[in-house]
């Protein structure tokens, strides 16, 4: 008799467990999965010494310094559909006693501008460097243009320079990409 009670107990427990695990489960929801990862990547960085803004051989000012960085990962067709937003964060530390204009021109393979942003960096001194921040958020429409870019052209412009100018202009930047992957 005792064995029948145990068997009956285990049978009822088994039926309850099986019924409760599957009852009311909507398996069609598995097709409605949306994943929204955020990816944070370093973008560009530099340390420009004040001497880069003066040509000592010719005794002349150099008012514009440029550099290009490849961004091939932005131009992929796969990223174009899932990239929904991007936040750019730039941090400048300036110990040069001049203000700077800095522009970021995102270019395609034919060097056509697809997105442009610009900021001003406050002047500092070697004793008290000035830290400046520039944040730019791009929406979905702007992102469509940005994903056509293959490189970024950074242009640093100084209003005047001299051979006795000292200090460093430092840039560190990162970008947070907001993706939306739907199944």
Domains of the chain plus CATH, in order, are 33-182 (2.60.120)
3 state SS of 29: helix
Q: What confidence tens digit (pLDDT) does each residue in 28-66 have? A: 665 667 788 888 888 999 999 999 999 999 999 999 999
Statement: the pTM of the whole predicted model exceeds 0.75: yes
Q: Which pLDDT band, with edges at 50, 70 and 90, does 67 fall under?
A: very high
Output the average pLDDT for the chain: 85
Please give the pLDDT value at position 130.
Answer: 98
Q: How far apart are CA 60 and CA 58, in angstroms?
A: 6
> How far from 25 is each of 11, 30, 44, 183, CA to CA, in Å?
23, 11, 48, 19
In DSSP terms, which residues pair with 173 in a beta bridge?
A: 90
Q: How far apart are CA 36 and CA 39, in angstroms?
A: 10
To which H or E segment does residue 17 belong?
helix 2-22
- Taking phi over 0 as left and psi of -120 to 50 as alpha, with beta for the rest, 111 belongs to left
Q: What confidence tens digit (pLDDT) does each residue in 71-96 have? A: 866 555 667 778 888 999 999 999 99
Is the pLDDT higher at 144 or at 94? 94
Please give the pLDDT value at position 102.
Answer: 98
């Amino acid at each position: 008799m005792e064995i029948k009670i145990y068997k009956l107990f285990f049978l009822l427990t088994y039926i309850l467990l099986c019924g409760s695990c599957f009852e009311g489960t909507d398996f069609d929801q598995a097709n409605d999965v949306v994943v929204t990862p955020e990816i944070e990547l370093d973008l560009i960085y530099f340390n420009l010494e004040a001497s880069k803004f003066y040509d000592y051989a010719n005794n002349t000012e150099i008012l514009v310094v440029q550099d290009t960085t490849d961004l091939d990962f932005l131009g992929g067709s796969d990223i174009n559909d899932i990239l929904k937003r991007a936040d750019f964060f730039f941090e400048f530390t300036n110990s040069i006693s001049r203000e700077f204009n800095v522009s970021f021109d995102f270019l395609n393979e034919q060097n056509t501008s697809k997105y442009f942003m610009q900021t001003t960096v406050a002047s500092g001194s070697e004793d008290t460097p000035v830290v400046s921040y520039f944040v730019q958020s791009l929406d979905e429409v702007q992102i469509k243009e940005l994903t056509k870019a293959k490189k970024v052209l950074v242009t640093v412009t100084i209003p005047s320079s001299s051979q006795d100018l000292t200090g460093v202009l430092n840039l560190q930047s990162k970008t947070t990409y907001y993706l939306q992957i739907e199944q």
